[in-house]
Amino acid sequence: MKTADLVQLLISGIAMGSIYTLMGKGLLITFLTTRALNFGQGDFLMIASFLSMTLLLAGTPVVVAVVVVLAVLVVLGVGLERLAIRPLANMTAGSASSLAWILTTMGFGMLLQNTAQLVWGKSRFYSPPLFADEQKKVVELMGARFYLEELIVALVAMVVVGVLYWFLFRARWGKEVAAVSFDKGTASLLGIDVRRVVATSYAIMAVLAAVSGILAGPLTTVQAHMGLLFILKGFAVVCIGGFVNPVGILIAGIGFGIVEAMSNYVDSAFGDLYPFIIALLFLIVRPSGLFGEFKADVR
Amino acid sequence: MSLLSIKGLQVGFGGVRVLHGIDIDVAAGALVAIVGANGAGKTTLLRALSRLLPLQAGSITYDGRDLGGVAPHHVTRMGLVHVPQGRQIIPTLSVEDNLLIGAGSLPGLSRAEIDARLAGEFERFPVLRDRRKIPGGSLSGGEQQMLAVSRALMMRPRVLMLDEPSLGLAPQIITGIFSALRALAASGVTVLLVEQVAFAALKIADHGYVLQNGRIVMSGPPADLLQDPALISRYLG
Amino acid sequence: MRHLRYLVAAAAIAAFPLVSPNPYFINLAQDIAIAAIGAIGLNILLGLSGQLSLGQAGFLALGAYGSGVLATNHGWPLWATLPVSLLLSAVAGGVLGLVALRTRTHYLAMVTLAFGYIVEILAQRWVDITGGSMGLIGVPQLNFGDFQNGAANYFWAIAATLLLLQMLNDYAMRSRFGRSLHAIKESESFALTVGIDAARWRSLVFMVSAVLAGLSGFFFAHQAGYVSSDAFGLDRSIALLIAVVIGGLGSAYGPILGAIILVILNQLTAGLYEVSYYIFGGILLVVMLFFPAGAVGAVQRLFGRRAAGGSGAVPDTAGAGGAGAGAGAGAGADTGGAGVPAQTGDAGGTAASSASEGAAGIAFTAPATGQGPILELQDITKSYSGVTAVNAVSLKVMPGTVHAVIGPNGAGKSTLINVISGLYQPDSGSIRFMGRDITHLAPHRRAALGLTRTFQNLQLIGTLTVAENVMLGLQRGSGFARGWLRWLASDAEERDERAEALRLLRFFGIERLADVLPGDLPYGHRKLCELARALAQRPTMLFLDEPIAGLNEGEAKEIMEKIRGLKALGMTVLLVEHNMSFVMQLSDTVTVLDYGRKIGEGAPDVVQRDEAVIAAYLGTGEA
């Protein structure tokens, strides 16, 4: 493989990997505050991709489109918490109570999938590029060639990751999340409005899914059932990265993306399965992930 | 006129009644000690006061206001601050962040005011200044207790409630904490000290209650309680 | 008559194709039976052992292709391909089951999701073998050479298999297997202490659910002569999940009910294909939020019945009239307890009757007297998170005595308890039980030796009745196959277990509560139930963790009487308690801990006057 191709593959891998990172972070955020994940987060991404695509094709300026998509998804995120997560906390222990949120968030996601199917149909769509004027615009830099779109996607995703990092570790909200994640009662005793923190975390998850969807649309095809792959990869990434550390998720995400790009190059028939298998093996060997702490499940 | 008035409080959970009708009055500026052995209901009492537990009967009146339907974070913001058992320091946050997090929930505090309060706490417990950037989880038990008290004081409580601050601490450290509480009460903060170590707690108190099996069984000036032989039998049968 | 319902079902199965108006309904019935087989497996997995799999379609595919490919492309006969199907699914289930050991809850859900996805992709792309989504064509159908009645014959084959599986399922749920799974699901650490090897059970159940899905796939493959990879996507796994949940998770007849609902729903919405995801997603949300007990639960609520254990909507025939059964069994058992009343008294359980009831067959292994200590701890030290919770603690519990461990909050009592029961490993020191070193013995093995504990927070299994909880303690009985055959013949085994459970409940005066769920009982009675369960384990030493916490005076007195009664029968009791008057009245020896060390030991009145002990509890007064 020529170096030029290698660089291009790397950029490709980093671009998609950074999107997986964003997905992983979305899963992490809600896990911190509610010990639950949005199993339909991939479907959130899908809605964002479709909305963004439709608005852009209709000629809406990018900034406006982004704002609209973010707004819609935040509503969905807050709605999900209200509808599929909060009511479960009050229910007495049933047979599946500790796993009920998996089923409710999955159900919510299915509603989104059907909506997309009805509005846009079941075919695959091509979303216009956000940053380059044409889909496959190639840039040459120091002898290496790569797609401009992918490069900028990677950069934008990194910026979002950075912003999230700032939110979590510097801003007040992040400290509140740490308190709520530690113990909700204690957080209340510190004057923290736990409900508000929880709702905000779901809104942030939705924002991350929205950004992922907006960025991912042009890089892949948009389809009503595209969400499954993204949730699987997002989850693989957050498991490998460890359920506590955003830096770990970043490393895991980029790594996953690069492995995926390489595997597809090497084996175009089954290459997309390799990263999953590697992730599965990794998890069997080291269930706590790269940086996580495995807490013994003593009930 | 008592600042905090508890009448006929009955609290339970999980099908078990823990408190069977508690009457307590706390005058403004007083240091009130509530002592009792394990299982007496001390922690349940404070959690009920902070509204973390529902009331099955009775009332809590704070500063003339009925706390019945108030959410826990509002109770804190109203000035009734609870330092929970076991300190509950946020382990992943630094000492400084732990201190700031409570004050940060109070509306209308300027940055300057917060910084001033922070400086004040570092004065009170210099060891916290030395370790201000260190994660809270790495502190020793005594340091964590100091941090927990300071964290509460950052919110300028009118009533400070502490659940067994002496738990797991060496005697000298306990002495230090208790002196600080005595000084605090002297400066006008009302203190509700819930403790197992009856002797030390009663010694610094203005008024004492003994809790046993969810009921107040003794009440009065600390000097009287300390001389009463029944006190020991309340603990050791 | 026992098993009447199975005979009725068999008759219905036999008659159905003969009365069915046209083959369409027979086909529908086949669909229902195929789905029900898979649902039974998933029901046991999720409803009983609490493990969620979102990838059952993967096992279905393995079963379908395993047989389909061999039969179509290589001409194997179906009696040979069936074992291959089952083997493939079993192996995959076993591997994934091992993964399940190390991952829990949502991790496992994701892993199974990924597994299902991978299998589907492989099926889609390995076109040479599987025919991909265009399909494997010409798959031989199972019609026993009779083309005319092929559909009926096939239906009978599937339905007969289903009936057999249902019978096995019913046995499993009503026996110690079902009870053990309930225990594992709700509290694994408790399950260990009743001798259940949780890890092994969980992987076994995983494999069983995989094999049942594979079997379902086998029948599916040979139904229509055609297999397409489109059939094994995530929606298939979700559909199965919906069937289980909507039918009634964890109940015996939930799967068949759910399968019927699912297939009917599919038929009704066939024209509404465009909104099928709305329907399924909506069902998931609505059921989880409003009807978590599913159709079975709704039916039970309608008829005011209790959901007792895994018995589902139909109460156990042996359960009819607890007192009657108890009396019958009591009279027939080897008790010689002439004074045992057939009717249960009230919870008063007076001290007078407890003595004779004690003689009425409460069996346990009383140790030979004159031996050394039953339990001996030497220099046990345990630290974690930088804190030394227990520091070089030694103590001896002598046979036939009541020995209490007390200490202020934070003294290390809970840590010590967990070290003794094996949930924690000490950093140094040793523990000997009946002279045997158990320091590194797993918790479920300690239980088998006669070291039985109760829990401060009452680990009663909420989905089992009081009697079933007590039977959990019994944990004896034959293996599955033999047990099932015996069950077919008579329910003597279960009846005997239940009789013993009732005897134990009678000792504590709560026999009349045998068929109530713990959640509906006042706290005091729940404590008694847990004591009965502990006693069911035939302990040599009873280890009680705060036995009277949360009880009022009257209830505490009752427990004290019962413990005195047990001691009179030769039982050794180690207990941890806060309530001093209880401890001081009941115990022979008291050990006092403070800051992880032993600071006093001796007879109660000695300890009460010990200055160090007073200082530990009330402080020294220096402040």
Q: Are residues C391 and C509 in the same domain?
A: yes
The pair of three-digit structure tokens given for residue B134, joined into one six-digit string:
């260190």
What angle (nearest 5°) sits at the alpha carbon of residue B123, between those of residues B119 and B128? Answer: 85
Higher model confidence: residue C193 or residue C529? Answer: C529
Interface test with A, best of C285, C287, C300 (most A CBs within 10 A): C285
Q: B25 touching A, CB under 8 A?
A: no
Q: Where are the beta strands (DSSP E) in A14-75?
A: none
Considering only CB atoms, A189 lies closest to which of B50, B93, B97, namely: B50
What angle, rounded to 10 degrees, do the helices at B141-153 and B95-104 form? Answer: 30
Give the integer Cα–Cα distance in Å for A279 and A255.
Answer: 11
Contact present, A52 and A217 (Cβ < 8 Å):
yes
Any residues with CB less than 8 A from the CB of C215 and at least 6 apart, and which? C37, C63, C85, C86, C89, C161
- Residue-wise pLDDT tens digits, C259-270: 999 998 888 877
Q: Which 3 state secondary structure label does DSSP give B8?
A: strand
Q: Which residues of A touch B90 (CB under 8 A)?
A: 175, 178-179, 182, 186
Q: CA dihedral in degrees (C547, C550, C552, C557; nearest 10)?
A: 0
* Candidate from A92-96, C369-373, C431-435 with smallest mean pLDDT: A92-96
Any residues with CB less than 8 A from the CB of B227 and at least 6 apart, and which? none
Residue pairs between chains A and B whose CB atoms are closer than 8 Å:
60
* Candidate from C41-55, C221-235, C279-293, C338-352 with smallest mean pLDDT: C338-352
Give the integer Cα–Cα distance in Å for B191 and B28.
Answer: 9
The predicted structure's pLDDT at residue B196: 85
The pTM for the full model equals 0.83
Q: B174 touching C, CB under 8 A?
A: yes
What ipTM score was computed for the predicted complex, to two decimals?
0.91
Break chain B down into helix, strand, coil percent, rounded to 5: 40, 30, 30
- Residue-wise pLDDT tens digits, A124-180: 998 888 876 665 667 776 666 677 888 888 999 999 999 999 988 889 899 999 999
Give the integer Cα–Cα distance in Å for B29 and C558.
Answer: 45
Contact present, A223 and A125 (Cβ < 8 Å):
yes
- pLDDT-derived band at A46 (thresholds 50, 70, 90) equals very high
C369: in domain: no
What's the whole-number mean pLDDT along residues C83-97?
A: 92
The predicted structure's pLDDT at residue C483: 75
Architecture per CATH, A3-285:
Orthogonal Bundle (1.10)
Give the integer Cα–Cα distance in Å for C337 and C542.
Answer: 24
Q: C526 touching B, CB under 8 A?
A: yes
Share of chain A above pLDDT 70, in %: 89
The residue with tokens 């992490």 is A28
Q: A5 touching B, CB under 8 A?
A: no
Give the integer Cα–Cα distance in Å for C502 and C495.
Answer: 10
| Cβ within 8 Å, pair B88-A193 | no
Residue C147, pLDDT > 90, answer no
Considering only CB atoms, C114 lies closest to which of A87, A232, A270, namely: A232
User: Taking CA atoms, what residue in A is nearest to C462?
Assistant: A93
* Alpha-helical segments (H) within C187-290: 188-193, 198-224, 234-248, 254-268, 276-290
Contact present, B92 and A178 (Cβ < 8 Å):
yes
- Residue-wise pLDDT tens digits, B192-206: 999 988 888 999 999
- Residue-wise pLDDT tens digits, A209-236: 999 999 999 889 999 999 999 999 999 8
- pLDDT-derived band at A291 (thresholds 50, 70, 90) equals low
Residue A187, pLDDT > 80, answer yes
The residue with tokens 């800051």 is C595
Q: DSSP secondary-structure letter at C45?
A: I
Contact present, C286 and C344 (Cβ < 8 Å):
no
The predicted structure's pLDDT at residue C24: 87
| Cβ within 8 Å, pair A182-B91 | yes
In terms of residue numbers, what domain contains C78? 4-303
For chain B, which domains are there?
2-90+157-236 (3.40.50.300)
- pLDDT-derived band at C353 (thresholds 50, 70, 90) equals very low
What angle (nearest 5°) sits at the alpha carbon of residue A75, between those of residues A73 and A80? Answer: 95
- Residue-wise pLDDT tens digits, C438-471: 998 888 788 888 888 888 777 888 888 999 999 8
| Cβ within 8 Å, pair A175-B104 | yes
Give the integer Cα–Cα distance in Å for C54 and B51.
Answer: 40
C335: in domain: no
Buried b (16+ CB within 10 A) or exposed e, C199-217: bebbbbbbbbbbbbbbbbb
Domain boundary among the residues C283, C303, C323 is at: C303
Considering only CB atoms, C623 lies closest to which of B37, B167, B175, namely: B175
The helices-and-strands tally (H runs, E runs) of chain A is 12, 2
What's the whole-number mean pLDDT along residues B4-32?
A: 90
Q: Which residues of C touch A117 (CB under 8 A)?
A: 274, 277
Residue C248, pLDDT > 50, answer yes
| Cβ within 8 Å, pair C277-A239 | no
- Domain ranges (residues) in chain A: 3-285
Q: CA dihedral in degrees (C594, C596, C601, C607; nearest 10)?
A: 10
Give the integer Cα–Cα distance in Å for C5 and C312.
Answer: 14
Q: Which residues of A touch C43 (CB under 8 A)?
A: none
Strands B57-62 and B2-13: antiparallel
Share of chain B above pLDDT 90, in %: 67
Give the integer Cα–Cα distance in Å for C195 and C118.
Answer: 37
C315: in domain: no
Give the integer Cα–Cα distance in Å for B206 and B32.
Answer: 6
The predicted structure's pLDDT at residue B114: 92
* Alpha-helical segments (H) within A170-291: 172-182, 184-189, 194-216, 227-241, 246-266, 274-285
Sheet with C597-602, strands from edge to edge, namely C451-453, C541-545, C572-576, C402-406, C589-594, C597-602
Considering only CB atoms, A191 lies closest to which of B88, B90, B106, namely: B106
Q: DSSP secondary-structure letter at A220?
A: S
| Cβ within 8 Å, pair C106-A99 | yes
Q: Are residues C130 and C259 in the same domain?
A: yes
Winning range, highest mean pLDDT, from A75-89, C372-386, C399-413: A75-89
Q: Which C positions 221-260 lie with beta carbon below 8 A of chain A? A: 234, 238, 241, 245, 249-250
Q: B106 touching A, CB under 8 A?
A: yes
User: Taking CA atoms, what residue in A is nearest to C279?
Assistant: A111
CA distance, residue C460 to nearest chain A CA (Å):
13
Interface test with C, best of A37, A103, A237 (most C CBs within 10 A): A103
Instruction: Please give the distance of CA C365 from its chain centroid, rounded to a whole number.
Output: 26
In this structure, chain C runs to a length of 623
Other C-beta atoms lying within 10 Å of the C-beta of residue B107: 7
> Taking Cα atoms as reference points, which of A274, A284, A158, A292 lies closest to residue A238?
A292
| Cβ within 8 Å, pair C580-B235 | yes
Buried b (16+ CB within 10 A) or exposed e, A204-217: bbbbbbbbbbbbbb
Q: C61 touching A, CB under 8 A?
A: no
The pair of three-digit structure tokens given for residue B98, joined into one six-digit string:
């732990």
Inter-CA distances, A233 with C76, C105, C165, C267, C278, Å:
39, 18, 37, 34, 25
Q: Which residues of B touch C612 (CB under 8 A)?
A: none
Strands B80-83 and C136-137: unpaired
Q: B90 touching A, CB under 8 A?
A: yes
C266: in domain: yes
Buried b (16+ CB within 10 A) or exposed e, B53-81: bebeebebbbbeeebeebebbebbbbbbb
Break chain A down into helix, strand, coil percent, rounded to 5: 75, 5, 25
Other C-beta atoms lying within 10 Å of the C-beta of residue C318: 18
Q: Are residues C244 and C388 in the same domain?
A: no
Average pLDDT, chain B: 90
CA distance, residue A257 to nearest chain B CA (Å):
30
* Candidate from A19-28, C278-287, C614-623 with smallest mean pLDDT: C614-623
| Cβ within 8 Å, pair A113-C277 | yes
The predicted structure's pLDDT at residue C360: 45
Average pLDDT, chain C: 81
Any residues with CB less than 8 A from the CB of C28 and at least 6 apart, and which? C263, C267
Domain boundary among the residues C303, C318, C334 is at: C303
Domain boundary among the residues C303, C320, C346 is at: C303
Q: Can you name the residues that pair with C269 across neighbouring β-strands?
A: none
Any residues with CB less than 8 A from the CB of C74 and at least 6 apart, and which? none
Residue A55, pLDDT > 80, answer yes
| Cβ within 8 Å, pair C288-A239 | no
Q: Which residues of C touch B198 (CB under 8 A)?
A: 617-619
C339: in domain: no
Q: B196 touching C, CB under 8 A?
A: yes
Contact present, C277 and A110 (Cβ < 8 Å):
yes
Q: Which residues of C touch B175 (CB under 8 A)?
A: 622-623
CA distance, residue A292 to nearest chain B CA (Å):
13
DSSP H or E segment with residue C36 = helix C23-42
User: Taking CA atoms, what residue in B is nearest to A195?
Assistant: B73
Q: DSSP secondary-structure letter at C146?
A: -
The predicted structure's pLDDT at residue A27: 94
Q: CA dihedral in degrees (A58, A63, A67, A69; nearest 10)?
A: 40
Give the domain CATH number at C258: 1.10.3470
Other C-beta atoms lying within 10 Å of the C-beta of residue B217: 14
Strands A138-141 and A144-147: antiparallel
C570: in domain: yes
Look up residue C405 and give its amino acid: V
Inter-CA distances, A228 with A165, A219, A259, C116, Å:
26, 17, 19, 11
Number of domains chain C is built from = 2
Q: Are residues C396 and C294 in the same domain?
A: no
Considering only CB atoms, A232 lies closest to which of C113, C122, C281, namely: C113
Residue C331, pLDDT > 70, answer no
Q: Which residues of A touch C124 (CB under 8 A)?
A: none
- pLDDT-derived band at A269 (thresholds 50, 70, 90) equals confident
Give the integer Cα–Cα distance in Å for B235 and C608.
Answer: 10
Inter-CA distances, A14 with A8, A164, C3, Å:
10, 18, 63
The pair of three-digit structure tokens given for residue C220, joined into one six-digit string:
């599916």
